[in-house]
Structure 1
Amino acid sequence: MKNLRNGEFFGQINEKLDFDGLTITDTEYTYPYVDWHYHENPYFTFLLQGNIREGNKKEVYDCSAGTLLYHHWEDAHYNIKPDLFTRGFHIEITENWFEKFHLPKDLAEGSHNIKNPVIILLMYQIFKESKLNDNLFELNINQILLNLFGRLSNVKKSPEKSLFGLMRLMRSSTKVLRKN
């Protein structure tokens, strides 16, 4: 099974941005079939055009434009692309990014087909910011991605793992430290 390093995806990478522990790619899928593989970092795939079937050990997703998937690091999966132009937007997130913002790398484990329209809209905003590429795009993308993870973790059943739960824990820990 192939392990893809940071920034590696199957297909033609048309644009690549690297900053602050994020690797963002705009990729045209050129392979009709990609065998089982995994990535060394967690990442989002946002399908911009076309269709693709993506399978993992638990589920198979039939994806069309607008589909947003999240894969935790080392989650094995495969891809099947029909004979149709298909393009995806990826955000790969290194451990350094999670550490920089004091977030656990396992904030969202597993593979997920994200259907929450607010989270999908946030991904559209990240895509737009990456294309603007102005003086503030890095700051804006980090801010939107933090918002996205906060909303994604709130969707989960266990509030103690949510970003807001972590923030409450950090505030209460800070108060305890200040008293001592």
Structure 2
Amino acid sequence: MQLSDGKFYGNTVRQTTLEHFCLTQTVYSAEVALPRHHHENPYFSLLLEGNYLEKTQGEETIIAGGHSIFRPFDHEHANIFDNKNGKCFNLELKSNISNQFSREMKDQRPIILQQSSLDLFLLYYRFLKDYPADTLDMLSFEIITALFEKEQLSRFGQTPWINTITARINDMPAEQHSVEHLAAIVNVHPVYMLRKFKEKTGLRLSEYITRIRLEKAANSIVAGKGNLTAITYDSGFYDQPHFTRQFKSYFGASPRDFGKTLKG
């Protein structure tokens, strides 16, 4: 079964069609089973509530709240939701933009992200807040571009010690990562490490750490993992006012208001 532009199983609650993308919010009843199908266009799906089993040829994967998955246009799959209602946010590439990524998507397999992109949460928040179409379109393009750039690096290699640093930060965002300690771990000079990190990732080390902490916090808010005090410290921020300032600087909303908006 092929689903055409903007069509998804479940109930469509909200949809915005942009020049190059289609943004759709869908909800699902508990324990609903979606038959095997694929979509005409590739798309990113962020699971906001519930959990489901993703079935493909010979594989089964649990997708949990806060996880996201990129599915190529010909990816056949079936889904079974658990005993809770589900909610998804879908970022679909229209044909006029997916053709521009044909080289990157050649032989592309689904990409499952257990910690969803910070920008994907930002897009969903702005989608709910009715931001202008051109703003949503540009942010969507940036998200897809960043995804494929990351995939290209994982396929063809990144500077090994930079991978070591990013993996450590990703795995332990709550740890206080000093420049000297990270440099010692990878056995490079701190000044050289900072310069090359910015050159290869496009971010200063401190910016990268903050983004990873905000990603963890946003995932925790969406998944309902604890109160804001617990989320603050689990994400690596030293106090709640600091966390709130950083969060509001990025999203334009406090963590509490962000959570209320996403929960609807």
User: What is the TM-score normalised by the length of structure 1?
Assistant: 0.75
**Residue in 2 that maps onto 1:124:** 121
Unmatched segments (≥5 aa) in structure 1: 160-180
Q: Distance in 1 between matches of 2:69 and 2:35?
A: 18
1:144-155 correspondence runs (5 A): 144-155=143-154
| 8 Å Cα contact 1:95/1:105 also seen in 2 | no
Instruction: Give 1:146 shift.
Output: 2.5
The match for 2:67 is: 67
How far off its partner does 1:104 sit?
2.0
Over 3 Å counting, the alpha-carbon distance change for 1:89 and 1:153 in structure 2 is farther
Task: Give the drift of 1:98.
Answer: 3.0
25-34 vs 7-16, greater mean Cα deviation: 25-34
1:72-151 to 2 correspondences below 5 Å = 72-99=72-99, 102-104=100-102, 106-107=104-105, 109-115=108-114, 117=115, 120-135=117-132, 136-151=135-150
Give aligned pairs, total: 154
Name whichever of 146-155 and 50-59 sits farther off: 146-155
| In 2: Cα distance, 1:105 partner to 1:128 partner | 30
Point out 4+ residue stretches in structure 1 off by more than 4 angstroms: none
- SS of residue matched to 1:137: helix
Deviations along 1:6-25, one digit per CA (max 9) or x if unpaired, are: 11111111110111221111
Task: After superposition, give the CA deviation of every residue in 1:68-95 in whole Å (9 maximum; x if it has no partner).
Answer: 1111111110000122111011111122
Deviations 1:100-129 (A, max 9, x none): xx43265261222124x4x62222122122
Matches within 5 A, 1:6-85: 6-30=5-29, 32-85=32-85
Percent identity over the alignment is 20
Q: Which residue of 2 aligns with 1:173?
A: none
In the alignment, residue 7 of structure 1 is paired with which amino acid? G
Q: Which consecutive unaligned segments of at least 5 residues does structure 2 have? A: 159-264
Describe the SS at the equivalent of 1:10: coil
Larger helix percent = 2
Kindly indicate whether the alpha-carbon contact (under 8 Å) linking 1:98 and 1:105 is maintained by their aligned counterparts in 2: no
Equivalent AA in structure 2 for residue 92 of structure 1: E
Quote the RMSD (CA, aligned, Å). Answer: 2.2
Q: Which amino acid aligns with 1:124?
A: F
| Residues 81 and 154 of structure 1: CA distance in aligned 2, closer, same or farther (over 3 Å) | same
Higher relative contact order (CA 8 A, sep 6+): 1
Compare the two structures and name the one with the higher strand fraction.
1
